[in-house]
């Protein structure tokens, strides 16, 4: 199984900011598998066409954190939407995380077979790595807009995500804080969906009565991912014990496995691996360097990994001393994420072929700063951009 890409060298530093004028610099490169959707109007363009592959990866949104980065980066006018990525296998779409703008980006990418899909008709499953807002903010937009954009398809979309955490995280600092929804303060994916359905009851009831729309149970089915009983994981003191990957879902196109990763006090926080007949794609989710992720990603064709710039974090607050609240937030950012200096060695230890940087924090860093992640990695590095697509495996046309 092989992933072919445009490569400037063994460690090809691909970015989404190559203007058409740079095409001559790539004249001797492979013309195979990295592209931007024709719907994109950014300053980047590629000679290549990922849609010549049965399996491909589509980066819908590449920003880390609960915001859209609207400041220009890389000298252009591109923006980064919230984190969301799709695996597309022979027209079937599997969505990983639903950050800000996912409904818009999914529609704009037009990931289905040419001429067949114009909305979400090909969407089969949604996978949530964890329930922080930057990964779930537009999840229910898929449901509500899906009524008008091709859902239900042949079957309800299957949604898989973390279950009830079971305990609140410790408080950073000395100030006590109120508890929201004390009867159920850490709802999982199923309960979150039920609450969202209740919140939009006015609209949903209107649609059911005046438009003949199918019920939401025809659009989606939600699942809290159970942690294997042999894994003695729990909130706050054993969130990511060393473990083997476990099966989440399998259908006629993909096999999806998961493991617990280190996102600080956040539990459960998952990484996912998608194995297809064409190759393997792993999503780190939000995590610090973690042996479970390395086990899950071993030998993968593509590792899509979050990354944070430690210099940016330090610049947010200037020089110490810091307040307890500031120290708590700095601690979270630096010790529950993976820095530029750490991510290359993680990919190298896992033996992956291609490392794709996404969930970029900050979203307006110059590309050259992210390219430093190549240190310690002997494979190909791709700095992700919104609407970038990457083909996996052999071309089919």
Question: What confidence score (pLDDT) does residue 48 get?
Answer: 63
CA–CA–CA angle 354, 355, 357 (5° rounding): 145
Predicted TM-score (pTM) of this structure: 0.87
Angle between helices 139-146 and 102-109 (to 10 degrees): 60
**pLDDT tens digits for 341-360?**
999 999 999 999 999 999 99
Question: How many of the other CB atoms lie within 10 Å of CB of 109?
Answer: 24
Question: What confidence score (pLDDT) does residue 334 get?
Answer: 82
Q: Compute the distance between CA of residue 278 and CA of residue 152 in angstroms, rounded to an integer.
A: 28
What's the whole-number average pLDDT of the chain? 84
CA 37 to each of CA 58, 125, 201, 308, 359: distance values in angstroms, whole numbers, following the listed order: 9, 21, 35, 26, 19
- List phi, psi (to 5°) of 355: -110, 120
Angle between helices 324-335 and 310-317 (to 10 degrees): 170
Q: Is 290 left (phi over 0), alpha (psi -120 to 50) or beta?
A: beta
Q: Is the dihedral of CA 329, 84, 30, 346 positive or negative?
A: positive
- Structural domains in the chain, sorted by start: 13-21+32-169+186-393 (3.60.15.10)
Segment (H or E) for 91: none
**pLDDT tens digits for 254-275?**
999 999 999 998 999 999 999 9
- List phi, psi (to 5°) of 97: 70, 155
Parallel, antiparallel or unpaired: strands 246-250 and 255-260: antiparallel
CA–CA–CA angle 45, 49, 52 (5° rounding): 170
Is pLDDT of 148 > 50?
Answer: yes
Cα radius of gyration (the chain): 20
The whole-number average pLDDT for the span 27-40 is 33
The whole-number average pLDDT for the span 147-160 is 92
Assign 223 to helix, strand or coil.
Answer: strand
């Amino acid at each position: 199984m092989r992933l072919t890409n445009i490569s400037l060298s063994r460690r090809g530093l691909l970015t989404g900011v190559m203007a058409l004028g740079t095409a001559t610099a790539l004249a001797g490169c492979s013309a195979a598998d990295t592209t931007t959707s024709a719907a994109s109007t950014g300053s980047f363009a590629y000679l290549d066409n990922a849609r010549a592959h049965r399996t491909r990866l589509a980066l819908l949104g590449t920003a880390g954190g609960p915001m859209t980065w609207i400041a220009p980066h890389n000298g252009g006018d591109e923006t980064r939407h919230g984190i969301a990525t799709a695996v597309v296998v022979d027209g079937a779409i599997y969505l990983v995380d639903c950050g800000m703008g996912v409904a818009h980006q999914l529609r704009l990418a037009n990931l289905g077979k040419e001429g067949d899909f114009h909305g979400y008709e090909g969407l089969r499953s949604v996978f949530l790595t964890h329930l922080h807002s930057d990964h779930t903010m537009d999840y229910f937009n898929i449901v509500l807009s899906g009524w008008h954009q091709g859902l239900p398809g042949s079957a309800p979309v299957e949604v898989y995500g973390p279950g009830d955490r079971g305990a609140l995280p410790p408080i950073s600092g000395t100030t006590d804080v109120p508890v929201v929804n004390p009867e159920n303060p850490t709802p999982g994916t199923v309960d979150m969906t039920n609450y969202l359905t209740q919140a939009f009851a006015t609209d949903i009831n209107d649609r059911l009565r005046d438009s003949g729309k199918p019920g939401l149970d025809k659009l989606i089915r939600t699942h809290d991912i159970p942690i294997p009983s042999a894994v003695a994981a729990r909130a706050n003191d054993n969130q990511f014990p060393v473990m083997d990957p476990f099966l989440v879902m399998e259908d006629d196109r993909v096999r999806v496995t998961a493991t617990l990763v280190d996102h600080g006090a956040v539990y459960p926080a998952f990484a996912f691996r998608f194995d297809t007949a064409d190759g393997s794609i792993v999503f780190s989710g939000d995590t610090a360097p973690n042996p479970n992720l390395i086990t899950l990603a071993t030998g993968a064709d593509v590792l899509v990994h979050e990354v944070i710039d430690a210099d940016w974090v330090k610049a947010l607050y200037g020089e110490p001393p810091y307040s307890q609240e500031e120290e708590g937030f700095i601690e979270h950012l630096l010790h529950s994420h993976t820095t530029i200096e750490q991510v290359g060695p993680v990919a190298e230890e896992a033996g992956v072929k291609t490392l794709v940087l996404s969930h970029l924090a900050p979203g307006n860093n110059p590309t050259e700063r992210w390219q430093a992640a190549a240190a310690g990695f002997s494979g190909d590095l791709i700095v992700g951009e919104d609407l970038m697509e990457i083909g996996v495996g052999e071309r089919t046309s």
